[in-house]
Structure 1
Amino acid sequence: MYHTVSYAFRNDDASIMTVDSVGWQNVSHPEYRCSSDARPDSGHVVFQYTLSGQGYLDIGGQTFSLSKGHALVVKVDDEHCYYYKEEGKQPWEFVWINIRGEEASRIWNLVIEKEGHVISRNADSPLIQELWNIIRLINQEKVTDRYRLSVQVYQWLLTLVQSSRDAEKDIGALSVNAIEKCKRFLRDNYASPITLDLLAQHCEINKHYLCRLFQRSEQTSPLAYLKDRRIEAALTMLRTTELPISLIGQKCGFESPSYFGKVFRQYMSMSPTEYRLNKLEFPYEAIYYE
């Protein structure tokens, strides 16, 4: 039939998000079916990653195959069914985690909106390795405290969100190198006059293509990224030096004091002078926009 190594946690604490169940399973019989209309765990979310073999997911009027390297991402309250139907063939081997808590449901919405109900990840990716780590903590270190498990789940969910965003902006290794080269140049030379032509020349890439790549990767333009770095530098200088404001604007790459003041107000809703004096509300030596 099938063999299971799994762990479940039962308590009445609804104040935190944590693990309901997690484990590894090896299915070899078509009787294995998980249907939303037969589940008692309303409000939960499920992630199930195929290690080998193949399963299937019916959701939204479509059927998706769950082959090696693919995971289903479903909310228990959404109508669906995932199952195995390859009797006599390779078993369906997978790891899964079932999470309860409103924050998990919110993150599921973000991932499903970006990637759908079936996502692809490598077995050695941080997302899958961290899931194995949760299983290891329970299995080997006997961690069962719901608060410690909650910390692990939050960390895993952040990895899921990050990997989902990375998958959305997947642009290939060469393009990633070009974007990193561009960002490094902007960070190192924010005080200098920089144009798209100069930036494209440095990165050895067409400026229009560079802008498209940068927008896809960073969800902003190269010049907007540059402006963020200039404002970050100005905020630090205003708080950590006694330099005149006009000189700070110049050192941060702004072409005139009036333009510096205009851009600064767009970010902080106050003038550079007001920010320098307003240490109670903004007691920070630095503010970052990445």
Structure 2
Amino acid sequence: MVHTVSYAFRNDDTSIMTLDSIGWQIVSSEEYRCPSDDRPDPGHVVFQYTLNGQGYLDIDNQTLPLPKGHALLVKIAGEHCYYYKQENNEPWEFIWINIRGDEANRIWDMMHDNEGHVIRRNADSPLIQELWQIIHLIHQEKVTDKYRLSMQIYRWLLILVQTSRDAEKDIGALSITTIEKCKKFIRENYASPLTLDLLASHCDINKHYLCRLFQKSEKTSPLAYLKDRRIEVAIRLLRTTELPISQIGQQCGFESPSYFGKVFRQYMSMSPKEYRLNKLEFPYEAIYYE
């Protein structure tokens, strides 16, 4: 692939999210300025990621630097300007994507609430690698079909949302490893009488700290996560086996049939027996609470 590739796509289809333009560019002149009031594409959103050098974004009465590893996210409808200054004598190298569609605008609003107009991602992150993949599909494989490209854009946007939520957690690699260790232990031992003390001991941390980590990362508690897994298994066994309901509750780690029935009703608004019989309204063999 060579530098300074850029592609634009034009169609009138507003029923789906579509690609307006995408590219890889190097600029070294201060003539490069992109003010929103000069744009012919209102309603679009732009993501522009710095590979080398630095650009600037003027927005909301402030100037935000765009150094290596940072990306701007702006809506063309909003007042802003991004540009290059020759103060460091190093060209600004970046890749960008311009998307049109209501869903893209909604996601941009959510991203702004989470991280602001400038976000940071590593060059080898899934988000940036997926953007390179879209450029590769167009440049090398000559893919121009709007539906194929739309699927790629949706995939890229899902990665953007996921990485934003991961960044929001901001609990560090060691803490993430601890939480995954706890979740794995719960999934493998849900039938056992697990307690918060036992889970904390397995993870070699204080139980209060484990709860704080879980809440920040998973937006729930370790014991609530355990209860979700137990109900998931119970739902599957009710539909795929003829085991007695009391035995299912026991196999799923519920201490008594009455407690199993109480918890099950909290999730499904009916008893385990009613769910087993009610196959028309709830025809699922499994339900997941992730």
TM-score by length of 1: 0.96
Q: Distance in 2 between matches of 1:85 and 1:156?
A: 30
Q: Distance in 2 between matches of 1:92 and 1:157?
A: 24
Any stretches of 5+ residues in structure 1 without a counterpart? Answer: none
**Where does residue 162 of structure 1 map in the other structure?**
162
The 5 A counterparts of 1:101-116 are: 101-116=101-116
Q: Which moved more, 1:66-75 or 1:274-283?
A: 274-283
Q: Which moved more, 1:91-100 or 1:190-199?
A: 190-199
CA drift at 1:87: 5.2
Over the aligned positions, Cα root-mean-square deviation in angstroms equals 1.2
**Where does residue 76 of structure 1 map in the other structure?**
76
**Where does residue 24 of structure 1 map in the other structure?**
24
**Where does residue 206 of structure 2 map in the other structure?**
206
Instruction: Provide Cα deviations, 1:56-103, integer angstroms capped at 9, x if missing partner.
Output: 111112211000000001111111111111257101100000000111
**Where does residue 287 of structure 1 map in the other structure?**
287
CA drift at 1:281: 2.2
8 Å Cα contact 1:239-1:276 kept in structure 2: yes
**Where does residue 236 of structure 2 map in the other structure?**
236
Q: Distance in 2 between matches of 1:220 and 1:258?
A: 25
Q: Distance in 1 between matches of 2:78 and 2:246?
A: 58
Q: Secondary structure at the match of 1:94?
A: strand
Q: Distance in 1 between matches of 2:150 and 2:262?
A: 44
Q: 1:193 and 2:201 equivalent? A: no
**Where does residue 65 of structure 2 map in the other structure?**
65
Q: Distance in 1 between matches of 2:103 and 2:266?
A: 32
Q: Distance in 1 between matches of 2:88 and 2:129?
A: 30
TM-score by length of 2: 0.96
**Where does residue 146 of structure 1 map in the other structure?**
146
Moved beyond 3 Å, runs of 4+? none
Q: Distance in 2 between matches of 1:34 and 1:10?
A: 20
Q: Distance in 2 between matches of 1:176 and 1:13?
A: 42
Q: Secondary structure at the match of 1:229?
A: helix
Residue identity matched to 2:268: M
Q: 1:12 and 2:12 equivalent? A: yes
Q: 1:177 and 2:143 equivalent? A: no
Q: Which moved more, 1:254-263 or 1:190-199?
A: 254-263
Q: Secondary structure at the match of 2:63?
A: strand
Q: Distance in 2 between matches of 1:254 and 1:155?
A: 39
Q: 1:218 and 2:218 equivalent? A: yes
Q: Secondary structure at the match of 2:86?
A: coil
Residue identity matched to 2:49: Y
Q: Secondary structure at the match of 1:141?
A: coil
Residue identity matched to 2:146: R
Instruction: Provide Cα deviations, 1:241-264, integer angstroms capped at 9, x if missing partner.
Output: 111112211111112222211211
**Where does residue 123 of structure 1 map in the other structure?**
123
8 Å Cα contact 1:29-1:87 kept in structure 2: no
Instruction: Provide Cα deviations, 1:27-59, integer angstroms capped at 9, x if missing partner.
Output: 111111111111121111100000000001111
The 5 A counterparts of 1:39-50 are: 39-50=39-50
Q: Secondary structure at the match of 2:45?
A: strand
Any stretches of 5+ residues in structure 2 without a counterpart? Answer: none
8 Å Cα contact 1:19-1:100 kept in structure 2: yes
Instruction: Provide Cα deviations, 1:108-160, integer angstroms capped at 9, x if missing partner.
Output: 12211111111111111111011011111111111111010001101111111
Give the share of equivalent positions with the same residue, in percent: 79
Q: Distance in 2 between matches of 1:254 and 1:111?
A: 40
Q: Distance in 1 between matches of 2:126 and 2:111?
A: 16
Q: Distance in 2 between matches of 1:32 and 1:73?
A: 18
Q: Secondary structure at the match of 1:144?
A: coil
Q: Which moved more, 1:237-246 or 1:257-266?
A: 257-266
Q: Distance in 2 between matches of 1:132 and 1:206?
A: 43
